[in-house]
Amino acid sequence: MAARTGRGFGEARMNYFRTAILLAAMTALFLTVGFMVGGEQGMLLAFALAAGMNLFAYWNSDKMVLRMYGAREVDARSAPDFHGLVAELARRGDLPMPRVYIIENDQPNAFATGRNPENAAVAATTGLLRMLSREEVAGVMAHELAHIRNRDTLIMTVTATLAGALGMLANFALFFSGRNNSNNPLGAIGTLLAVLLAPIAAALVQFAISRSREYSADRIGAAICGNPLWLASALEKITYGASRIDNEAAERNPATAHLFIVNPLHAHKRDSLFSTHPSTENRVAALRKLAAESGITVYQPARSAPAAAPRRGPWG
């Protein structure tokens, strides 16, 4: 047990180290492109605008996302089973009780949002609550609580700030392209590179950060719920359902895709290079390995929700 705990702590430190490196790369890219496009003044102006926009998002992003998906808040009276399950998992994870939401959407999926554990929310779709067993729902919600515990939503806010600033710099490059900017060492070539490559590079770094956090949330979520195979089984079912059922709200707002436990955007519409999530096969393999190391070899769900369950079932 001590060896597993030490190994898990080491993996967590490595994940944070990788995230820090990626954030540093994003910052360096931002500074370089800003200088090439508009010199110091252009860089500072773009950063000030992006920081102002994302400061607003920092305080209001949870409300914005929940409203975007039409989420309705539930409590112990309106959804006793689901709310009670989240409360039990929060206690096991030593976390404050988050606000709990249900989204009327047939695609099975879930996400967490909020700037810190004291101001967090978790949301699950009706499709997820219909398709998964109680144990699998527990695995999913434990994963989302792990994101809250790791403050991943804050990390993604920071990356969004820098990515948004880079996008602004690319737009400024079009404005400055007709001017003689002595601060641009590469001239027109530097401007063209900023316009074409900076947003792509920012997206790649942002997606890499998101993918690295999913593995950590899987591992910690498995510890919170007590059985890695619950989450592994849930991931397989969610991936299968998400690939066949549209999530129109997510398709209209692809920038929120990284929040979900499984990519809500259809894989055939997005290149895997730009995927916000690691492959389900790799995640499931890691969870099964973790289960084997813990002496857990079989998962037999106590209750599986029927495929055609009513919209308002026992979950609320």
Catalytic residues: 144
- For residue 147, give the amino acid letter: H
**Whether 82 contacts 98, CB under 8 Å:** no
- Closest among 158, 163, 157, 159 to 199, alpha carbons compared: 163
Q: DSSP assignment of 17-79, as one string?
A: HHHHHHHHHHHHHHHHHHHHHHHHHHHHHHHHHHHHHHHHHHHHHHHHHHHHTT-EEE-TTTS
What gap in Å lies between CA 283 and CA 262, rounded to an integer? 11
What gap in Å lies between CA 47 and CA 52, rounded to an integer? 8
Contacts 24+ apart (CB under 8 A), 176-185: 176/37, 176/38, 176/42, 181/37, 181/38, 181/39, 182/39, 183/35, 183/36, 183/38, 183/39, 183/40, 183/42, 184/36, 184/37, 184/39, 185/36
Q: Indicate the SS3 state at residue 138.
A: helix
**Whether 296 contacts 62, CB under 8 Å:** no
